[in-house]
């Protein structure tokens, strides 16, 4: 009830005022003005509301938003990175000479430029007119806007944060030349979205070009479009139409998959921070990888301990968060759940939390949730991200990864950014309006060694 009042009541203030006049003064019922409706939508989808919607859709957003960093100067930022320590420390004889062997400091510069995004959501004339007349119609219109922003704007930002720099909405585990293509993790698409199926070997060839998503099968991890794929191979990927090509590069944020890796991202993405991970001496810009040559193997305690130790030994920081998809959690549920202790020799009921099933109440889905689960490893929280790529587990120190952004930390309507110089509802050639939003952002880090990935983990 409290959550309803917080998220819904302010949105219906104009409607409530109109109804109060009807009831208190016995005035005839009347429709609120169109300008009131527009103001209500503008109030609702300002920065605060959009931040709330983002937190409902994106686990990583909540984890990393604790350190939102504005980046100025035309969207560019330079981070100095220490690559070698300065000074010297050695033993000596009493009254002996000081050493002449000096170690000089070295630094590198990681440079980042914010990626620009625009979002467009359509609102029909009929829906707006109906919203003027009836409280229920207004509530349904606001629900529609909620769903539209969550399923399009923030679902796509989620794909960027979880991906490898190309906004992967689904990656093929093998060749699949059908209209319905199976991907290796939960698809990040939405019905009606216009997508391309890209050839991963060159990030330029369109295997399916600008097709609308007509069906989504979450259980079978399948995406259906109106055109059959051709010439596919393992690693090919779905992405937003016209967002990746070798001429313009990748119009996406880097993603945690690009950061937590030993290798550079695809050439179409570019080297992270402008630093080539393949150059000798640049190991400070690599995360730790534990793979099995592409052959799936079960998760073991030794693997996680090894990754945890590498994070501390190489990056100098402990792991603060583990993340995986739900399929891995299901398979290793009993292995990852927190220990349960039984007191023997006492006539006493065990109490809550005992059994082979998980406590569903501990699966956090609140607006401030960080993918909390009942699971831990070595006391470190295990986060659930349903759309995480398959067969891998990430461990990282959250203090070294954050979302850099421009003036606004979430996509924001153009009318707010430019002080109503741009209309909130933009007329189109159809019987609807467009609501245009704008965002600049990038997933930024300063210590990739403070993270690791375990690849090739068998799922359920």
Establish if 354 belongs to a structural domain: yes
On whether both 347 and 394 belong to a single domain, the answer is: yes
On whether both 138 and 188 belong to a single domain, the answer is: no
The pLDDT of 368-373, averaged and rounded, is 76
- Residues 6 or more apart whose Cβ sits within 8 Å of residue 283: none
Quote the pLDDT of residue 25. 41
Q: Is it the case that residue 388 has pLDDT exceeding 70?
A: yes
Quote the pLDDT of residue 149. 76
pLDDT digits (tens, 9 = 90+) for 111-127: 999 999 998 888 889 88
Establish if 213 belongs to a structural domain: yes
Q: In the chain, what percentage of residues exceed pLDDT 90?
A: 48
- Cα–Cα dist 377/455, whole Å: 17
Q: What's the domain count of the chain?
A: 2
Q: Domain end: 231, 251, 271, which one?
A: 251
DSSP for residue 179: S
Q: Domain end: 251, 286, 314, which one?
A: 251
Quote the pLDDT of residue 230. 93
Q: Domain end: 234, 251, 268, which one?
A: 251
Domain that holds residue 70: 1-82+106-165+253-460
pLDDT digits (tens, 9 = 90+) for 239-257: 999 999 999 999 999 999 9
Give the domain CATH number at 316: 3.90.1690
- Cα–Cα dist 378/392, whole Å: 19
Establish if 128 belongs to a structural domain: yes
Per DSSP (E only), the strands in 370-450 are 376-377, 380-384, 392-396, 401-405, 412-413, 426-427, 432-445
355: confidence class by pLDDT, cuts 50, 70, 90: low
On whether both 297 and 375 belong to a single domain, the answer is: yes
Establish if 403 belongs to a structural domain: yes
On whether both 141 and 224 belong to a single domain, the answer is: no
- Cα–Cα dist 277/110, whole Å: 12
Taken in order 424, 430, 432, 437, the sign of the CA dihedral is negative
Establish if 91 belongs to a structural domain: no
On whether both 264 and 410 belong to a single domain, the answer is: yes
On whether both 426 and 351 belong to a single domain, the answer is: yes
**What pTM does this model have?**
0.83
429: confidence class by pLDDT, cuts 50, 70, 90: very high
On whether both 184 and 266 belong to a single domain, the answer is: no
Residue 167: which region, alpha, beta or left (left: phi > 0; alpha: psi -120 to 50)? left
Quote the pLDDT of residue 17. 46
8: confidence class by pLDDT, cuts 50, 70, 90: very low
Establish if 94 belongs to a structural domain: no
Quote the pLDDT of residue 335. 77
On whether both 146 and 202 belong to a single domain, the answer is: no
On whether both 212 and 332 belong to a single domain, the answer is: no
pLDDT digits (tens, 9 = 90+) for 95-111: 999 998 888 888 899 99
Phi/psi at 275 (5° precision): -105, 125
Establish if 15 belongs to a structural domain: yes
Q: Is it the case that residue 305 has pLDDT exceeding 50?
A: yes
- Looking at 53-62, 177-186, 281-290, which range is the least confident one? 53-62
On whether both 134 and 175 belong to a single domain, the answer is: no
On whether both 285 and 229 belong to a single domain, the answer is: no
On whether both 364 and 412 belong to a single domain, the answer is: yes
Establish if 414 belongs to a structural domain: yes
């Amino acid at each position: 009830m409290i959550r309803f009042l917080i998220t819904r009541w302010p949105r219906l203030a104009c409607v409530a005022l109109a109804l109060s006049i009807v009831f208190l003064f016995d005035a005839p019922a009347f429709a609120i003005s169109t300008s009131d409706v527009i103001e209500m939508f503008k109030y609702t989808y300002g920065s605060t509301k959009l931040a709330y919607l983002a937190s409902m859709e994106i686990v990583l957003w909540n984890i990393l938003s604790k350190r939102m960093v504005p980046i100025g100067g035309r969207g560019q930022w330079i981070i100095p990175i220490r690559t070698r320590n300065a000074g010297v420390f050695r033993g000596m004889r009493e009254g002996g000479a000081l050493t002449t062997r000096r170690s000089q400091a070295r630094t590198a510069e990681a440079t980042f430029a914010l990626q620009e995004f625009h979002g467009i959501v359509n609102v029909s004339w009929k829906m707006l007119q109906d919203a003027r007349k009836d409280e229920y119609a207004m509530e349904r219109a606001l629900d529609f806007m909620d769903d539209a922003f969550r399923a399009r704007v923030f679902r796509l930002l989620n794909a960027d944060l979880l991906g490898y720099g190309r906004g992967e909405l689904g990656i093929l585990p093998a060749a699949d030349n059908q209209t319905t293509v199976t991907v290796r993790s939960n698809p990040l698409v939405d019905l009606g979205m216009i997508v391309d199926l890209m050839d991963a070997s060159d990030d330029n060839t369109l295997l399916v070009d600008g097709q609308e998503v007509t069906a989504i099968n979450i259980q079978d991890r399948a995406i259906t479009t109106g055109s059959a794929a051709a010439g596919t191979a393992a690693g090919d990927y779905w992405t937003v139409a016209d967002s990746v090509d070798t001429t313009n590069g990748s119009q996406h944020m880097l993603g945690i998959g690009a950061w937590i890796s030993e290798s550079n991202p695809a050439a179409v993405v570019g080297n992270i921070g402008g630093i080539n991970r393949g150059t000798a001496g640049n190991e400070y810009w690599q995360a730790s990888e534990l793979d099995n040559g592409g052959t799936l193997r079960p998760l073991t305690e030794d693997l996680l301990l090894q990754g945890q130790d590498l994070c501390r030994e190489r990056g100098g920081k402990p792991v603060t968060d583990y993340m995986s998809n739900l399929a891995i959690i299901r398979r290793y549920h009993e292995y990852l759940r927190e220990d349960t202790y039984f007191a023997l020799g006492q006539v006493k009921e065990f109490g809550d939390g005992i059994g082979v099933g998980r406590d569903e109440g501990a699966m956090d889905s609140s607006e401030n949730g960080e993918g909390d689960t009942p699971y831990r490893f070595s006391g470190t929280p295990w986060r659930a991200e349903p759309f995480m790529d398959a067969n891998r587990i990430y461990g990282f120190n959250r203090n070294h990864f954050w979302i850099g952004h421009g003036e606004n930390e979430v996509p924001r309507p153009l009318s707010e950014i430019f002080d109503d110089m741009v209309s909130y509802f933009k007329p189109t050639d159809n019987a609807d309006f467009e609501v245009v939003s704008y965002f600049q952002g990038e997933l930024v880090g300063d210590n990739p060694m403070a993270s690791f990935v375990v690849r090739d983990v068998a799922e359920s």
